Structure 1
Amino acid sequence: MERTKRLLVAAALTVTLGPATVGTTPASADTVVAPFLLQVGSTMPALPGKAVALATGPGGAIAAAHTEGVAVWDSGRWTEVTGGAAYKVAWRGDALVALTAKGLLTARRDGAGQWQVSTGRLPEGVDAATALLAGGSDVVLVQGEGLYRQKSGQSWQHERLPGTAVALARAEAGTLAVATSAGLFEQDGRTWKPVTLTGDTGTWASTTITHLTYDSKGRLWFAGGQGIGVRDGKWKLYDPSRGLPLLGFTALAPGADGDVWLGTARGAIRFDGEHWEYRQGRRWLPDDAVAAIAVDGKANAYLGTAGAVGLIEAQRTTLAKKAEVYEQAIDARHRRTQYGFVEGVELDKAGDLSKWTQHDSDNDGLWTGMYGAGESFRYAASKDPQARENARKVFEALKFLGDVTQGGSNPAPAGFPARTVRSTSDTDPNVKDSPERDKEKQKGDALWKISPKRWPTSADGKWYWKSDTSSDELVGHYFFNALYYDLVAEDGAEKKEVASVITRITDHLLDHDLYLVDHDGKPTRWGFFNPSELNGNPWRREERGLNSQTILTFLTIADHVSDDGKYAAAKKKLISESGYEMNTLAPKVTLGVGGGNQSDDEMAFMNYYHLLKYEDEPALKRSWSRSLYDYWQLEQYELNPLFNFIAGVHLKGATWSDAYGPVELDPTGPWLAQSVDTLKRFPLNLVNWKQNNSGRLDITNLGQQVRPDDDASTLGMLRSGTVLPVDERVVGHWNHDPYKLDQGGSGTTEYDGASFLLPYWMGRYHQFISEK
């Protein structure tokens, strides 16, 4: 785990706290989350050619004009209507019309459901490859300065346009709009009236328009060189300063409920007048180059791309149903070994979930513990026996990590938990994780530990177990076990069993002078909590605050589950003699927003949860609350429901006072709505597809002065002041850097859904959210 430079100034000030109510509704915080539409991307079955135009027809049928013909998507399959190159497609009632190399195609289904096709001549001078087409009660073609109408069975009627046409749209009521070299015009009877684009941000040039459409509410939309706009009584104009991600449009189509979809060479954009959604990468599209879009009445978007036709389906769902999907995926693919360690899987083929390989990681205890924490909250909130069973399995898995290190080839001191395990029937991991490799690592990290055997074998010879366990691993153990003790374990024997697992790790730390000591008798790379290290070693300045907070949390939890006063005594000594209370006031050291290692953030917030929950000493609780408040001020822009809910639980009703008077510490701003939005938008597709956001026009880079140790050109946030929404980046765990603009990989890893399940069930348990 790498650390980066961090700086946060926090003062030790008097804090007055209201009662910390756990498991009850925080005043004015409950949000009822109604069923909502969740977008899920997929690739449709292949067409014979590349789709260049799409149109929605009766019953939700989708017509596609493609380079090899015309096809219709209906009843879950493509039906070829005709062959030969096609360029545009529209509907005239139940009839399909298309501009093809052979002329104007008209097709209808007969009584047997077969397509009956006829082809008519185009008006003289009209080029099927470049003309514009609109369906409706009659067919309208536009080429150059000419507009041509044809009613069924009649000849073409010609009208002259005010300029050379570049875009055409037709409202459901029949009104036509055209964008020409002379500007934007709308037809009133036989007269073309100019439309001025004067709106809430001034007047835009109508000659830069490239696309037009009428939405489902009859409002006129345009897209062009400056941005997009909608006429809603008056014009509302949107450019990148108002959230538009990109310019350079290739398509514009109405959505199902007054929204619109835009195509670009770098993905698709949906806008409902308030919220922007950028869809890029293989999570959403077969290819980023979008040439055509159509949206059916159920809000499903069909996107013709350079690769294939993509479908972004609008699935009506609830947060609870999403949770079930993640649980099913974990059961199907993400429980490794008979102990059920929960972690991502490697896919044999990019994006294909049918074949996968499970693997160990550096942090199996942490990730499995966080999954178990979510199951503990789930059980407390729902009393679902399956949640209890899942949590119990996690307890046994984490307990095993402490059991497996005893005896065997290189026995560790009692209480030492392994990072992870793998079967000895697998390839020997020591071949890769060798002392020679450690020496190479040490060249870039002078404190990197050279281990004589990074993977010892267990006493029964069945397991390799990974040594050099990290502090974040321990945080995962304590966070889960404390929750399991409080929320799941039954009175009596089971609580004693949990307490013994907690105290054996804590006893190990106390017995080894607050170091986590490995099988070689030496501390692990990150397992140091001793005052001589944290206060006396200048190399540890970055870890001083966080590791002080961490050991105080461990001792607080151990004291909570034990009648032995030694844990409280050790904690008191660290505070009174070594200043750990003051150290904890500044657990994050950063040179600006977004700085530091997000693994540290994840650890710190999990620590805060129990440190504040169990602390009985008012003065200490004041310190911990102030510390959490300062930390959350940096994290609140990251749209992280886990961090937000922990702050919401423990800062409610808190105030602090200094020379200037009292100040409320309650989390302010839209944190609860943002948390709910993150849970709603959390993608079902957890494959690590690449997400490229650099170059977006709604982004502002953090700047070198904010992240001086990083490449500032790779880091950014929305102009509105938050990180990108969760479905426009990659989240495997909450330790990912949310300010990194380009994330993800080649689609060969699928993450588990514990990053959703933990904050979701925490929010349910604490009643920040409820569902209809």
Structure 2
Amino acid sequence: MIYLMSRLLKVNIFVLLTAIFSLPLAARQTLWEPQADKVFLQEKSEIVRTTGPVTQVAQMGERSFAVLDGKFQELRNGSLEPVSNGPEEINKVEVHDHIAWIMASSGFFRFDGNDWQKISDDSFVDVCLHQEKVHAATRDAIYVYEGGKLTNIEPEGGYLSSDVTMLMEDGTQVLADPVKPGPIIAIASYSGTLHILQPGKLVQLSGRVINEHLIDWGTLPSKNTFDLMSVGSRLFVSTDRGLGVLRGASLQQIKGTEGLPVEDTRQLAQGFDQDMWIGTTRGAIRMLEDDWHYFGADHWLPDNRVNDIAVAENEVLIATDGGIGIIRYEPFTLRKKSDHYEYWLDRYGHKRMGFIHTIHQYENEWVREISDNDGAHTATYLSAMSYKYAVTGEEAARKEAVDAFQAMLWLERVTPIDGLIARSIWSRKGDKGEMGRRGSGGLPAKWNATADSLWYWKGDASSDEIIAHFYSVSLFHDLAARGEEKELAKEHMRRIAGYIMENGWVLIDADGQTTRWGRWNPEYLLRPYGWTDRGVNGLEALAFSYATYALTGEERFKKGYEQLVDWGYAENTVKQKNTFPPSQIAPWDDNLAFEAYNTLLRYEKDPVLRSFYLRSLERTFEIKRMEKIPWFNFTYAAMTGNDADLDAAVQHLREWTLDCTEHNYRNSHRDDLFVEEGYTSYEGGLKAISPRESAVTRGARRAIVLDGGRNSKRIMEPVGFIRDYWMGRHYGLILAPDTEDPELLEVKKGSGENPGAAPYEGPDRPDFL
């Protein structure tokens, strides 16, 4: 009786779990909160290069100025033009109430945008607004500007000391030596009082008293001090070892451990949105209430050494030794950002016969790269457009999906063997550049000519391409295909999966040899040579065999799947993610695994087998979680219903740079390289680097790579963003924007010259519909 009850209980649980997993995700209880697609400020970069260092910048209303070769110049249409009648050997420029105060070797000047006025022959070091009046400082004295002239504010009889030992019984002071405010580096008005920065020391001018004892608690991070700025309740001091922050009488320190990207801080500037800008010897920093944004060369700045910063409304000028970096901010939504990247694909020529390509420079011309993984790159776009069509119903999105789908079909139909796929296809009469000479793992490329000699197709396809085909084509079938397209999708999957199974779970190339990485057989995965691949490759085989069965209903694929399960492939998926040794971690395997998770968990409903795959996903996501990459977070949330740090993942999308050019970037020098609280680094990463601080990368991206870039010689296809955004929308992880303003939903489409690769002009791809 006990056995019977236990058996019935197991059956009932099985039925219950099967019923739950059969429900659409929207009908299940989820532990994540959908994220709003709220309006945010998106950075755009412009660089003005100069022949020498730009030492100062200034913003006066809508006009921008800079100091180059010691002369005051205006920035117009991306170039600097000298301002007539200005002084030379300018050392510093400060703007207050739309008036520029110019400190030069020849004196102190006032410029209202049209006329110059020389105020003093003395050499001044700083200017600030104090009690609604301009105050200016030389190295040894402070003046107030009133009625068109400067007046020294030193009281009759001189300044008094804050040293109590110098006080007489009646409160008077009799000093042997006068108290001086200098040597002065900078001045600022804080809490209604003038504060003075001296070398390694902060003092205040309290009435007649120079107060050297204003700090009750704390010390400056360093004696090497550079700049001073008041922001509300805080007074900031820049040093070469971090920031000093005065609050009342307490001096605190902000260093790398608090999130400051570079401790060698120099210039300070008030921001436009309750923020502050910091110039350093290694880039510029935007400091917000709860975040830090780092901007370095080569994407944002022409050089990393910052000399000055000027801020206007939604625009920042950064003077460097190599010129001026201009960062502009524009209101965006993620929906608008996705539209930007879709427009980018068209404008820069990433598309060719339905394929998606990276662009690179070849003999001073932008050309499309015919790569090892054209199918995998196109698969990301096919999935993106399938998701988009499912969300919006836009026929334009479906048309794009169909075009990409036909390109995927062609990769299989171009080979002479049913089920064998090509990595890529080269047109003898239409493609530019050169055919890639390398294949898998640096081995020689395997190019094969078609019977009509119009095309070459690249062989030695790997597991990367195989799982990409099944992930994207099955999504297309479910979300965007109609009629004959659905049948073609099934046939495509049937041919590839059948060919692999017929050959004993390996991919046989046209030369009769197994491809380098097309191996899912137990002789490889369950032996020492392929042992490290047993998890991810086994996951792929389980995914493509079961997905083919789910869509075609053919029993042979179900039997193949069950054979894999009998071999222990399901159990092996649990620890598919390799974490050691770090030098042997293949980051692209993460992309393959998540394509397999997305494919297998959409169809498999058996609770026992799902338990293996879910445990695998749980383990893998915990490892990848610190990187905050939406592709991983969204997959985990969609397939499990669990919380997946969606706020961090959506913020990651907001921080993608609009420019897809792979500029060089460096982060390994930073002082804030630590794993954030609440996360654990299992792969040896020091910090998850924001996309703003690296470059646009594809699905196999890693956020823990500190340095990289391609010398601005390659342009990445931004299909990863498009896919992730529309995937988030499809599963309800991201809500639709709460606006109908077209300027917040779409970018303006220009009609200018194509800045990327020239349009493809070769023979057309076959039409399979």
TM-score, structure 1 as length reference = 0.83
Q: What secondary structure sits across from 1:548 in the alignment? A: helix
In the alignment, which residue of structure 2 is the partner of 1:64? 66
Q: Shift in Å at residue 528 of structure 1?
A: 0.9
Superposition pairs of residues 165-184 of structure 1, within 5 angstroms? 165-170=184-189, 175-181=193-199, 183-184=201-202
In the alignment, which residue of structure 1 is the partner of 2:518? 527
Kindly provide the CA deviation profile for residues 118-168 of structure 1, in whole angstroms up to 9, marking residues without a partner as x: 334323xx3x5xx23336755433233322333242244253643422222
Q: What amino acid sits opposite 2:548 in the alignment?
A: A
1:589 is aligned, of 578, 591, 603, to 578
Contact 2:58/2:66 (8 A) holds in 1: yes
Kindly provide the CA deviation profile for residues 329-386 of structure 1, in whole angstroms up to 9, marking residues without a partner as x: 101224343x231121114699xxxx62112111000011011111111111111211
Q: Counterparts of 2:110 and 2:338 in 1: how far apart (Å)?
A: 47
Q: Shift in Å at residue 426 of structure 1?
A: 6.6
In the alignment, which residue of structure 1 is the partner of 2:342? 327
Superposition pairs of residues 252-331 of structure 1, within 5 angstroms? 252-298=268-314, 300-331=315-346
Q: Which structure has the larger Rg over C-alpha atoms?
A: 2
1:488 is aligned, of 469, 473, 480, to 480
Superposition pairs of residues 159-170 of structure 1, within 5 angstroms? 159=154, 161-170=180-189
Residues 387, 430 of structure 1: alpha-carbon distance in 2 compared, 3 angstrom cutoff: closer
In the alignment, which residue of structure 1 is the partner of 2:163? none
Q: Counterparts of 1:707 and 1:676 in 2: how far apart (Å)?
A: 21
Unaligned stretches of 5+ residues in structure 1 = 1-13, 110-114, 407-412, 653-665
1:382 is aligned, of 369, 387, 392, to 392
Residues 236, 38 of structure 1: alpha-carbon distance in 2 compared, 3 angstrom cutoff: farther
**RMSD between superposed Cα atoms in Å:** 3.1
In the alignment, which residue of structure 1 is the partner of 2:381? 371
2:357 pairs with 1:343:
yes
2:547 pairs with 1:547:
no
Contact 1:346/1:358 (8 A) holds in 2: yes
Superposition pairs of residues 294-693 of structure 1, within 5 angstroms? 294-298=310-314, 300-337=315-352, 339-347=353-361, 356-406=366-416, 413-425=417-429, 433=437, 454-490=446-482, 492-535=483-526, 537-576=527-566, 578-591=567-580, 596-652=585-641, 666-667=642-643, 671-693=645-667
Q: Counterparts of 1:133 and 1:121 in 2: how far apart (Å)?
A: 14
In the alignment, which residue of structure 2 is the partner of 1:5? none
Q: What secondary structure sits across from 2:36 in the alignment? A: strand
Q: What secondary structure sits across from 2:309 in the alignment? A: strand
Q: What amino acid sits opposite 2:372 in the alignment?
A: D
Q: What amino acid sits opposite 1:541 in the alignment?
A: W
Superposition pairs of residues 729-740 of structure 1, within 5 angstroms? 729-740=694-705
Q: Counterparts of 2:286 and 2:206 in 1: how far apart (Å)?
A: 30
Q: Counterparts of 2:226 and 2:145 in 1: how far apart (Å)?
A: 25
Contact 1:363/1:473 (8 A) holds in 2: yes
Unaligned stretches of 5+ residues in structure 2 = 1-13, 160-179, 739-769
Contact 1:163/1:181 (8 A) holds in 2: no
Q: What secondary structure sits across from 1:745 in the alignment? A: coil
Contact 1:63/1:73 (8 A) holds in 2: yes
Q: Counterparts of 1:179 and 1:727 in 2: how far apart (Å)?
A: 34
Q: Shift in Å at residue 225 of structure 1?
A: 3.8
Residues 566, 538 of structure 1: alpha-carbon distance in 2 compared, 3 angstrom cutoff: same
Number of residues paired by the alignment?
689
Q: What amino acid sits opposite 2:538 in the alignment?
A: S
Q: What amino acid sits opposite 1:279 in the alignment?
A: F
Which region of structure 1 is more displaced relative to structure 2, 424-433 or 520-529?
424-433
Residues 605, 66 of structure 1: alpha-carbon distance in 2 compared, 3 angstrom cutoff: same
Q: Counterparts of 1:238 and 1:21 in 2: how far apart (Å)?
A: 49
Q: Counterparts of 1:29 and 1:497 in 2: how far apart (Å)?
A: 37
Contact 1:227/1:247 (8 A) holds in 2: yes
TM-score, structure 2 as length reference = 0.83
Q: What secondary structure sits across from 2:711 in the alignment? A: strand
Q: Counterparts of 1:474 and 1:598 in 2: how far apart (Å)?
A: 17
In the alignment, which residue of structure 2 is the partner of 1:122? 121
Q: What amino acid sits opposite 2:320 in the alignment?
A: T
Q: Shift in Å at residue 517 of structure 1?
A: 0.8
Q: Counterparts of 1:725 and 1:74 in 2: how far apart (Å)?
A: 32
In the alignment, which residue of structure 2 is the partner of 1:132? 126
Kindly provide the CA deviation profile for residues 224-244 of structure 1, in whole angstroms up to 9, marking residues without a partner as x: 244224456666531111111
2:104 pairs with 1:88:
no
Q: What secondary structure sits across from 1:277 in the alignment? A: strand
